[in-house]
Structure 1
């Protein structure tokens, strides 16, 4: 593959840093001006496994402010980093972000525990992990854009839009989006560069951040089918085609492995050693998938089904339409399918490199 130059890489990194600082400043400003809605921030009971492990915050205004900023899903991520997986619904949050948060809080940031409290340190660690991951995700996004677009200036514009997009708040909060973006985009960059083993590793790690990381196996499925067809029908080399299929299958299995391992871990924790009466319904299923059960059972709309590609039932759509003016049902279909559509477009573009 031809050597590519990335002339705007430093500018992208600086722009990503500025965007994070701007968002953090806006968060502080709006929280100072307005009282937030009920965000579950005060929920902080003792750990179930070891209640004495709970380390309450000293009388520190900084620690209190950091803890009050741990809201919504961040509460779960910080709780998992502090106490592990205690409740069934906590398994909806995969372990990569809590693992990095726990590691950072117990190493570099450990001296701050006695100053601002352990939970505040966990929150600070979560913010650092998410924002640093975003900086490198932006760099890999720029590199990947240069490879695909063959135009550094267009890649720069795309990267700036990535840094300053309406959903950018999720990349600054203690959410898994930044880590997922880093390892997904980075994995695609290495895939396009020809570093297949590194790509498999990065894409597999993305599956430890978010469940849709398993979709990244689709890139290797496409590549495998493309190369196997070429070997079988154009080159007439049957053994080579078989070898390509075996290697492709192994790479896909590696990408699926983290998510499957997490499901097995949940099954051992929640199902084994319990009587049939104590078992949850998903434990008794032929294929006990904890994640699917959580998505369906704890879904806000009580959706029928649990797949991330499924749309809302028609009854729910009707209820929403009666409550919201000018609801466009097409938008309810758009969001679940947008990621798959984007991946399909990238696969088509990827085929031109083969």
Structure 2
């Protein structure tokens, strides 16, 4: 696909992002470096090298993003009635679990697919990156007080929109990226509950 595009009907089983990124890396990175080193490669070989390079770099990025995402999700937020020492202990525990999760993700036996010219690594990196942005949007709304929430909507919508774009890009790598819409739907429902919950509770308290 990187070489000739969607030349045959059976090629349509594969999504375009990885071939497109691999082709760009081949043209702008691999071929110039090899030419400068006096070892020019044929286009097909350079595209293969670029695809492996993209997969390995994406796998490293995915491990780092998974660590950040896990640590952020598991840590107890500030302002929940917990003491500073409790929050520090929670943060340390979340950090240990995040490091464990990222390490296991890095050394999984299925890692052969992460280092070869497959879509898994780039898909994982985009998925974890998008979820990290959506989690940031969630924290700006859900973990804020009512007074803080009024000024946090612009930032929350910005992070949510950026997360949606990144998750949409993941869908260009693998078709199961379409299920990422569920994360955005959950964020929207949780944000709506934060806004509408107090409004709905007022009549109930009055009655």
Q: Deviations over 1:37-57 (max 9, x none)?
A: xxxxxxxxxxxxxxxxxxxxx
Output the TM-score relative to the length of structure 2.
0.71
Note the C-alpha offset of 1:218.
0.3
Counterpart in 2 of 1:185? 128
Closer/same/farther in 2, CA of residues 149 and 226 from structure 1, 3 Å limit: closer
Q: Which has the higher contact order (CA 8 A, sep 6+)?
A: 2
Tell me if structure 1 keeps the 8 A contact 2:71–2:98: yes
Q: Deviations over 1:240-264 (max 9, x none)?
A: xxxxxxxxxxxxxxxxxxxxxxxxx
- How far, CA to CA, are the matches of 2:132 and 2:113 in structure 1? 23
Tell me, yes or no, if structure 1 residue 166 matches structure 2 residue 166. Answer: no
Q: Deviations over 1:142-182 (max 9, x none)?
A: 00110122210111111100000011111101001011000
- Structure 2 residue runs without a partner (length 5+): 76-93, 138-158, 202-207
- How far, CA to CA, are the matches of 2:104 and 2:19 in structure 1? 28
CA RMSD of aligned residues (A): 1.8
Counterpart in 2 of 1:207? 171
- Tell me which of 220, 223, 240 is aligned to 2:184: 220
- Mapping of residues 223-262 of structure 1, within 5 Å: 223-232=187-196, 234-236=198-200
Note the C-alpha offset of 1:226.
3.0
Q: Deviations over 1:221-255 (max 9, x none)?
A: 11222333454454149xxxxxxxxxxxxxxxxxx
SS of the aligned residue for 1:159 comes to helix
Q: Deviations over 1:63-88 (max 9, x none)?
A: xxxxxxxxxxxxxxxxx000000111
Note the C-alpha offset of 1:208.
0.7
Output the TM-score relative to the length of structure 1.
0.43
Tell me, yes or no, if structure 1 residue 175 matches structure 2 residue 96. Answer: no
- Mapping of residues 108-147 of structure 1, within 5 Å: 108-111=29-32, 112=34, 115-147=40-72
Greater share of helix residues, 1 or 2? Answer: 2
- How far, CA to CA, are the matches of 1:90 and 1:208 in structure 2? 14
Counterpart in 1 of 2:82? none
Closer/same/farther in 2, CA of residues 147 and 107 from structure 1, 3 Å limit: same
- Structure 1 residue runs without a partner (length 5+): 1-79, 238-354
Tell me, yes or no, if structure 1 residue 94 matches structure 2 residue 10. Answer: no
SS of the aligned residue for 1:86 comes to coil
Number of matched residues? Answer: 158
SS of the aligned residue for 1:125 comes to helix
